[in-house]
Structure 1
Amino acid sequence: MHQRPPSRRAILLGAGAMAAWAASPARALLGAVGHGALPAGVESLIAQMTVQEKAGQLTLMAAAWAGGAATALNPAGAAANFDGQLEEARRGRLTGVFNGNGAVMAKRMQTVAMREARLKVPLLFAADIIHGFRTVFPVPLAEAGSFDLDLARRTARAAGAEAAASGIDWTFAPMVDIARDQRWGRGVEGAGEDVLLGRLMADARVRGFQGSKGLAAPDAVAACAKHFAAYGAGEAGLDYNSVDVSERTLRDVYFPPFQAALTAGVPTVMASFNEIAGVPATANPWLLTEVLHDEWKFDGLVVSDYTGDEELIAHGFAADAREATRLAFLAGVDMSMQSGFYIKHLPDLVAKGEVPMARLDQAVRRVLALKVALGLFDDPFRRIDARREKTQVRTKALLALAREAGSKSIVMLKNDGDLLPLARSGKRIALIGPFAQGQHDLVGPWNVYGTDAEAVDLLTGVREAVKDAAMVTATDGSGIDAPLPGGIDAAVAAAQAADVVVLAIGESQRMSGEAQSRSDIVVPAAQQALAAAVIATGKPVVVLLSTGRGLALSGPVLDAPAILVTWFLGSEAGRSIADVLFGIMAPSARLPVSFPHATGQQPYHYAHKSTGRPNGPGPLTEYKAHYREFANDALFPFGHGLTYGKISYGALDLGGGQLAADGMLTLSATVTNSGTRAAEEVVQLYVQDVTASITRPVRELKAFRKVALKPGQSQVVRFTVRRADLLFVGRDLQPTVEPGRFRVWIAPSAQAEGVAGEFTLA
């Protein structure tokens, strides 16, 4: 259905619905105990509900009146009939919908719930606001590369406020899965391979979505940490695949970002699709109840992923829909998304004593608590305002933030001969490649409401930045996956007529994201051929890499003198790239994932173990842990990224080199910019526990600082290390740390030496 402006009748119905709500049983029960006195009010309301109405509070469905790209993203999706969905709301068989079509749709549904449902419990409106609403920000993996937590908080805050202006209460974000296999497509939604960066980004994004004024604020949306747990560890990088990792690895690697999200106040968690050690997460009581609720004291709700409970049947874990319902619900999944299993089967399961009424009431209590926290029991229409929806989206301030975020997310891998930044005048520039022009592949995967049609492409951004737009040409040269007739000849001619070539190649946005695992994470062959022909002209070439993952680069692409990783940057993509190309903004981002030598190296992450046969520095030696072709390292490591300055590290100070068990140790290095341009350096602190009762990684990131350096400026960068920073999960699966030697690096990446030394923990 297409969105329609609100009619006078709809406005009157809305006013009537508010009046009905004011006199409803739900409002009376909750209002009688005062705002914030949740338990008594909720218990009284629960007592009024039938079992079917309780099951309805646990049933979330895709909006029949879908918004944006929702139907394409969930093709099994929306209910066929909007009137039928209104009837479900009228009968109390629906807690809410997701990915709907804005304020008009939400107002119609909420009006029915408030005027015509028996108990008049407000509906909840949710959406996948992964990296922006109508204003689209860089994909989360790109933004993680900014190493800028305030930026992540600000873009999440802006996305949440913009979504709330369209009637949305709840976002299924942030994704906080650690992703260490670049074949997995959904790594684009997270913060990469590192635990510390993952924790900090989870915290920043939750706080951004939810704001600082409480969830009841009209511009706040509830966040949802997903996918619990270890979704990113699927075998062979295949989406939805089995996971078999130790409990120690779960606690050391995959759990910490969720714990950070909980500490930040996230009220909801989404169960993951995958199994862990043979038990699907959606039906795993140890994971969803014992760890999440009992151990971590989480008091919010758990929602299934899209048809996650239904998929227990395909897993071979449940015999049928009824058993899948029972297993998921008793494991701790409070709300079922999209399968409809809970409304169909919970009433009978309760009637036959297979599901305790106490468990049903517990789940309903968690759902109602979220609705109360969101302010829906005070005003069910607080976020539903068609006027705000039109005036508070894609504002100048939001687009300026998108441009800033895009520029700060671009990673410069190479800049031989200081080819970059380019001059803004006097040079003929040929933009070549399938991403050189046109409004496509700009906003990135998993965006429901923003569109490429509203985004700025590379050609537009570059022509705006130069003094004479006529000096800029654009030629596709090839398609994304296939050559174009005459394409290479046209590209070579364009290159020969130019002074410098900007070669825009890489992945389409459909090559990353859910269900987009790749068996070979390379630049497609057609584009490799294009790159070879263009680079053979001898003209200076700047490669721009569109991607949602770490790529294995080789051949002519790798030979280009300058390479920028431009990811998928969103609404202002073309302007963000131009800002960095021409030095309006200096590159300041770093890789949040390792770029491997080859696909066959996957899974790979910098914080790997040494093994009993490490190769060590120098030539490759037989019978050591490496591939025949290359060392056990990355082509471009985590944390790598160049600036327009010339950065060096020196004068390591170990603060005496002794860390008392109850003390702290200050480590420092002097970082110098000897170049002629200002730079922003991400100074990184890595530590290795040399000997421990559990083998430890070769390096682990413990802290980082972004420092601005003028030409010729030096700055002493200090880090404080405490015993708590050195904790790991010990043999008894409890956090521990042991006295002994620790190697330390203050360096520009996970493989760079920077300055290095040792300290001792007493």
Structure 2
Amino acid sequence: MTEQEKRILTIIEEMTLDEKVAQLVQLAPPFFEGAANEGQITGPMAAIKVNKEVVRNSGSVLGTSGAREVIHIQRTHLKNNRLGIPLLFMADVIHGYRTIFPVPLAIGCSWDLELAEKSAEIAAKEAAISGVHVTFAPMVDLVRDPRWGRVVESTGEDPYLNSQFARAFVRGFQGENLQNDFDRVAACVKHFAAYGAPEGGRDYNTVNMSERQLRESYLPAYKAAIDEGCEMVMTSFNTVDGIPATGNRWLMRDLLRDEWNFDGVLISDWGAVKEMIPHGVAEDEREAAYKAIQAGVDIEMMSACYIHHLKELVESGWVDETLIDEAVFRILRLKQKLGLFEHPYRGADEKREKEIILCEEHRQAARELATKSCVLLKNEGVLPLNRDKKIALIGPFAQSGDILGPWSCLGSKDEAIPLYDGFKMKVDPSLLLVAKGCDIETTTEKQWQEALDIAREADVIVLALGEHSDMSGEAGCRADIRLPRVQLELISELKQFNKSLIAVLFNGRPLDLHGVVDQVDAVLEAWYPGTEGGAAIADLLFGDANPSGKLTMSFPYSVGQIPVYYNCFNTGRPKDAPDAQERYVSQYLDIPNEPLFPFGFGLSYTTFSYSEVVLSSDYMTPDQPLSISVNVTNTGKVAGEEVVQLYVRDIAGEVVRPVKELKGFQKVFLQPGETKKVTFTLTEEQLRYYHSDLQFTSDAGTFVAYIGPNSRDVMALTFKLVK
């Protein structure tokens, strides 16, 4: 045991049981003396019946920031706290603090781990100088259902890729030494576990899957974040095997603590401890508190089951006080790792806030990542735009700053660069016409007519369409994932002019694009691109940057396919089998089985060819990996970046294996006519999976390696694993 840990134990020995329990409570700023919104204290205090002594001994604050306020709350708290234990300040810094980067689903589409890490580093820096100690990120939930609004916060449908991004985000947020680097913050991976698989794509809904499927697909990204050193884990709202995660002892103690050796802080999501009552596993708050502490939840966020009942549960013998001590120890150790005992105000600095937040360097990083995150889905030769043509920019997002996404911390729509402003950086203003045409879901006769008028006058029409940010994110679930009807009608109306139509989409989920992709000449999926979004999109549309983004979540052909994802299982009657009958196969009668746009898909202004795919051997052994190489050539006229993707299929496993699994990827930049050899190393370890007995091992036998630009258009080579 270190001297620092001994010091923590000394503090715990001096604490009363009331003081210990209060450390396990997280409260919002209005509870604290000196908070800017202090006048609202009686409201939330009355609602969850927390008295002043609890507040003075509480362990952490949710959602406040700004150096002045944090310093003031911390200073006041330290005066009132008997043992001088500092507060932890936590906030949802998901994809930027004030400088907002693209939403995580968009960042995933960049396939750029270095830029992802850089975005987290910048977010951490801005948050840290504003007094934040912990961010509730990264969210690494695997997602396969675009009806669920929170797919916007994930990096997609693939366990391997999500794991790589999880590690990158944790590195960016935390750096190498939290105790000495006050420009970093502690990361909290969420939502543990399987929050991304709710039935019907409805938030907070039931999750039901086998333990093998949980381990195979949904747990790897959480494990990757923890292996990277993530300091905190947040429980999810959903059930896991019929038990809410927040009270799931197997999940939190047996798996997270014992099997994975996680010894950091475990926090509930907002009110999730008390929500065990409506879930139906706790009769009252007392039982909810009992189940949460037994499961190992250290901090209860924004409900008061612990405050009201833990002391009595200890005194009555229901809960061993050592459980409370363990939780307090973990919380105090995190405060120590952050250097808060010696530096309770840590990195909070009003002067640096003014100098660093939203600075030009940060904005340029956001712009670069936004250009890498947009995905070109269609281009019938109309992009890049000609700067000498008259352009009509039409749509609800033409001049809108609502391009940050639904969970953008302190990002301001007023500070974001709308698409129109980006266009003005590129062309003579006399060649640029703009009209709204419609709002997100409604229109007026005047708006409609203005759009028609400028469309007549223009040479080319750019449509800025999409979802309002409130239509995705938490509780932003939609059964109909098409663009709102009025926007589809706008496309149809403008189609009559027989002019080039380009659609730029701002949205937080894969959409059903019928009525869009079949009507327009080009589609750029921009997602919510962040503070520099308009500038980045203009760079792409005018050819100053070449699109390189690739989808990390499949776009469905129809909502009736959902969930549709590339790494699915085959069936006993696959549609594409050589001897398949016309009817009695696994298929829809009215739509294709395949998504409209598959995982890994994305176009460029140039073209790439793949040739000379070579295996180093036809056999692999546990001690002898395979080398797989391919020549990639830029066959177009402009320089471009390609994401070369490696997939593998296990032809016959002990349990059914996916038809493809991503095992590696590399980004290569090629000048026109240039060829580069891209080489992957594939090991036996990468062929392992969870068997029916949950053993993680590989099987000898035949495998297929696929290389290509996406999960659909691939070249295949066969090899054997010999053991």
TM range (shorter): over 0.9
Counterparts of 2:262 and 2:227, CA distance in 1: 9
Q: CA deviation at 1:101?
A: 4.0
Asked if structure 2 preserves the Cα contact closer than 8 Å seen for 1:544 and 1:565, the reply is yes
Match of 1:57 among 14, 19, 23: 23
Secondary structure at the counterpart of residue 558 of structure 1: coil
Q: CA deviation at 1:571?
A: 0.7
- Residues 249 and 78 of structure 1, relative CA distance in 2, 3 Å threshold: farther
Asked if structure 2 preserves the Cα contact closer than 8 Å seen for 1:215 and 1:221, the reply is no
Asked if structure 2 preserves the Cα contact closer than 8 Å seen for 1:64 and 1:85, the reply is no
Asked if structure 2 preserves the Cα contact closer than 8 Å seen for 1:61 and 1:78, the reply is no
Match of 1:454 among 415, 429, 432: 415
Counterparts of 1:364 and 1:667, CA distance in 2: 50
Counterparts of 1:570 and 1:706, CA distance in 2: 23
Instruction: Report the TM-score when normalising by structure 1.
Output: 0.91
Instruction: Report the TM-score when normalising by structure 2.
Output: 0.96
Asked if structure 2 preserves the Cα contact closer than 8 Å seen for 1:62 and 1:77, the reply is no
Q: CA deviation at 1:111?
A: 0.8
Q: What is the identity percentage for the equivalent residue pairs of Structure 1 and Structure 2? A: 44
1:511 maps to 471
Structure 2 residue 173 is the aligned partner of structure 1 residue 213: no
Structure 2 residue 183 is the aligned partner of structure 1 residue 226: no
Cα deviation digits, residues 669-689 of structure 1 (max 9, x gap): 111111101110000001110
1:6 maps to none
2:682 maps to 721
Cα deviation digits, residues 238-273 of structure 1 (max 9, x gap): 000001100001100111001100111001000000
Q: CA deviation at 1:490?
A: 2.5
Q: CA deviation at 1:394?
A: 0.5
Cα deviation digits, residues 207-233 of structure 1 (max 9, x gap): 100113334411110000100000001
Match runs of 1:324-363 below 5 Å: 324-363=288-327
Q: CA deviation at 1:495?
A: 1.5
Secondary structure at the counterpart of residue 353 of structure 2: helix
Match runs of 1:628-639 below 5 Å: 628-639=589-600
Asked if structure 1 preserves the Cα contact closer than 8 Å seen for 2:492 and 2:519, the reply is no
Match of 1:254 among 186, 211, 218: 218
Q: CA deviation at 1:85?
A: 9.0
Cα deviation digits, residues 166-202 of structure 1 (max 9, x gap): 0000000000100011100001111110111100000
Cα deviation digits, residues 355-404 of structure 1 (max 9, x gap): 10110100000101110001101211112222222222011100111111
Counterparts of 1:685 and 1:580, CA distance in 2: 27
Counterparts of 1:222 and 1:38, CA distance in 2: 18
Q: Given residue 506 of structure 1, which amino acid in structure 2 is its aligned partner?
A: G
1:265 maps to 229
Match of 1:434 among 384, 396, 413: 396
Asked if structure 2 preserves the Cα contact closer than 8 Å seen for 1:690 and 1:743, the reply is yes
Q: Given residue 630 of structure 2, which amino acid in structure 1 is its aligned partner?
A: A
Counterparts of 2:577 and 2:526, CA distance in 1: 32
Asked if structure 1 preserves the Cα contact closer than 8 Å seen for 2:600 and 2:710, the reply is yes
Cα deviation digits, residues 16-35 of structure 1 (max 9, x gap): xxxxxxxxxxxxxxxxx9xx
1:3 maps to none
Q: CA deviation at 1:285?
A: 0.3
Structure 2 residue 139 is the aligned partner of structure 1 residue 179: no
1:43 maps to 9
Q: CA deviation at 1:80?
A: 6.3
Counterparts of 1:505 and 1:170, CA distance in 2: 35
Counterparts of 1:343 and 1:389, CA distance in 2: 35
Counterparts of 1:403 and 1:537, CA distance in 2: 34
Structure 2 residue 430 is the aligned partner of structure 1 residue 470: yes
Secondary structure at the counterpart of residue 232 of structure 1: coil
Q: CA deviation at 1:115?
A: 2.1
Q: Given residue 74 of structure 2, which amino acid in structure 1 is its aligned partner?
A: Q
1:593 maps to 553
Structure 2 residue 384 is the aligned partner of structure 1 residue 421: yes
Counterparts of 1:184 and 1:438, CA distance in 2: 24
Structure 2 residue 111 is the aligned partner of structure 1 residue 147: yes
Cα deviation digits, residues 276-324 of structure 1 (max 9, x gap): 2210001000000000000001110110000000100111111111111
Match of 2:490 among 524, 530, 534: 530
Q: CA deviation at 1:81?
A: 9.5
Counterparts of 1:516 and 1:450, CA distance in 2: 19
- Residues 290 and 556 of structure 1, relative CA distance in 2, 3 Å threshold: closer
Q: CA RMSD in A?
A: 2.1
Secondary structure at the counterpart of residue 120 of structure 1: coil
Cα deviation digits, residues 18-57 of structure 1 (max 9, x gap): xxxxxxxxxxxxxxx9xx6232111111000011100111
Cα deviation digits, residues 541-596 of structure 1 (max 9, x gap): 11101111111111344331111000001111110110111111111110010000
Asked if structure 1 preserves the Cα contact closer than 8 Å seen for 2:642 and 2:667, the reply is yes
Counterparts of 1:358 and 1:381, CA distance in 2: 30
Q: Given residue 622 of structure 1, which amino acid in structure 2 is its aligned partner?
A: R
Counterparts of 1:533 and 1:717, CA distance in 2: 46
Provide structure 2 residue ranges, at least 5 long, that are not aligned to the other structure: none
Secondary structure at the counterpart of residue 64 of structure 1: helix
Match runs of 1:696-715 below 5 Å: 696-715=657-676
Provide structure 1 residue ranges, at least 5 long, that are not aligned to the other structure: 1-32
Structure 2 residue 111 is the aligned partner of structure 1 residue 137: no
Q: CA deviation at 1:668?
A: 1.0
Q: Given residue 333 of structure 1, which amino acid in structure 2 is its aligned partner?
A: V
Q: CA deviation at 1:343?
A: 1.7
Asked if structure 2 preserves the Cα contact closer than 8 Å seen for 1:434 and 1:505, the reply is yes
Q: CA deviation at 1:691?
A: 0.6
Q: CA deviation at 1:329?
A: 1.1
Match of 1:378 among 338, 342, 345: 342
Q: CA deviation at 1:88?
A: 4.6
2:166 maps to 202
Q: CA deviation at 1:448?
A: 2.4
Secondary structure at the counterpart of residue 125 of structure 1: strand
1:15 maps to none
Q: Given residue 452 of structure 1, which amino acid in structure 2 is its aligned partner?
A: K
1:314 maps to 278
Q: Given residue 382 of structure 2, which amino acid in structure 1 is its aligned partner?
A: L
Asked if structure 1 preserves the Cα contact closer than 8 Å seen for 2:65 and 2:132, the reply is no
Match runs of 1:117-132 below 5 Å: 117-132=81-96
Counterparts of 1:47 and 1:450, CA distance in 2: 43
- Shifted more, 45-54 versus 430-439: the winner is 430-439
Counterparts of 1:716 and 1:115, CA distance in 2: 64
Q: CA deviation at 1:65?
A: 7.8
Q: CA deviation at 1:759?
A: 1.0
Counterparts of 1:444 and 1:333, CA distance in 2: 30
Structure 2 residue 606 is the aligned partner of structure 1 residue 645: yes
Q: Given residue 311 of structure 2, which amino acid in structure 1 is its aligned partner?
A: P
Asked if structure 1 preserves the Cα contact closer than 8 Å seen for 2:650 and 2:703, the reply is yes
2:244 maps to 280
Secondary structure at the counterpart of residue 196 of structure 2: helix
Counterparts of 1:306 and 1:77, CA distance in 2: 20
Counterparts of 1:587 and 1:77, CA distance in 2: 52
Q: CA deviation at 1:698?
A: 0.6
Asked if structure 2 preserves the Cα contact closer than 8 Å seen for 1:233 and 1:243, the reply is yes
Asked if structure 2 preserves the Cα contact closer than 8 Å seen for 1:684 and 1:747, the reply is yes
Match runs of 1:150-169 below 5 Å: 150-169=114-133
Counterparts of 2:183 and 2:124, CA distance in 1: 7
- Residues 651 and 457 of structure 1, relative CA distance in 2, 3 Å threshold: same
Match runs of 1:653-664 below 5 Å: 653-664=614-625
Counterparts of 2:177 and 2:13, CA distance in 1: 31
Q: How many residues matched?
A: 715
